[in-house]
Amino acid sequence: MSKKNFKVFIALVIIGVSIYSSFNMVMNSLIHSRKEIEIPNLVGKSLYDALDELSNTGFGLIKNDEEPDQNIPAGTILRQNPPAGMLVREGKTIKVTISQGGETVYVPNLIGQTIRSADIALRHSTLVMGEVERRFSTTIEKDYVIAQDIKAGQKVDKDSVVNIVVSEGVPPEGIILLPNFVNQNIEEAKIWALENNVTLDIKTEINQDIENNTIVNQYPQNDTDITNTKYVTLTVSTNETNLQNL
């Protein structure tokens, strides 16, 4: 390299170092010119409230992670980084971990299962069997589940309690259980009511899609003990051209 070129090279190096040093000085000056602010406590607040609180502080907010928490509502901040109380320069981004709420599961269908099978199904779904009520039934065999207080397919929190009703079988003589008359002809219900000295309150509902005089609803539900009341309400399908007295 010639002496002239060497001098040019040295000059360029000096200029480059000067520019780099100047840039660093400017950046450091800008950074250190920002005032220090104490980070607020965001734990226990919703994202909306946290963003509202930070809107005038110069801090940013980013959701870093989500975790299930049975005791904390979904969308609530569980943790933050940096922690509350730390002094940092404005413009800092705060990372937060958000609660997903309790883990939810679907309730299995227990109807028609034995108590043991129902208990296994609930445990498999991380649910808990609660009270076991026993009731006579004309439709479900003894020791099998008749009903459950949380319907099958409903979404609930993990470890929720599900109570069940178990069949005691056919009732002894003298106890009247209401059969399931839905989708049957009203005449069948009338015959049964006459034999058991039960009063029927029959209402009509216009329905062109169901055969006339078909029972579409009953109250109370089937297998209800009506020994003492002996009173049943039935809703029967009819049509506008056939509003006959039932």
Q: Which CATH class is domain 104-167?
A: alpha beta
Looking at domain 36-102, which CATH architecture does it have?
Answer: 2-Layer Sandwich (3.30)
Q: Is there a shared CATH topology between the 104-167 domain and the 186-238 domain?
A: yes
Provide the phi-psi class of 223: left if phi over 0, else alpha when psi is between -120 and 50, else beta. left
Give the CA-trace dihedral at 56, 59, 65, 69, to 10 degrees. -50
In the prediction, which pLDDT does 15 show? 63
Distance CA 8, CA 26 (A): 27
> Which whole-number Å values give the CA distances from 73 to 5, 58, 80, 157, in the listed order?
72, 27, 17, 12
In the prediction, which pLDDT does 78 show? 94
Which amino acid does the sequence have at 104?
T
Q: Is the pTM of this model over 0.85?
A: no
59: DSSP letter: -
CATH topology for the 186-238 domain: Trypsin Inhibitor V; Chain A (3.30.10)
Domain residue spans in the chain?
A: 36-102, 104-167, 186-238
Beta pairing class for 161-167 and 128-135? parallel
Mean pLDDT by 10 residues, the chain (246 residues): 56 59 55 73 91 86 88 90 90 91 89 96 95 92 94 90 95 92 96 96 92 95 92 91 54
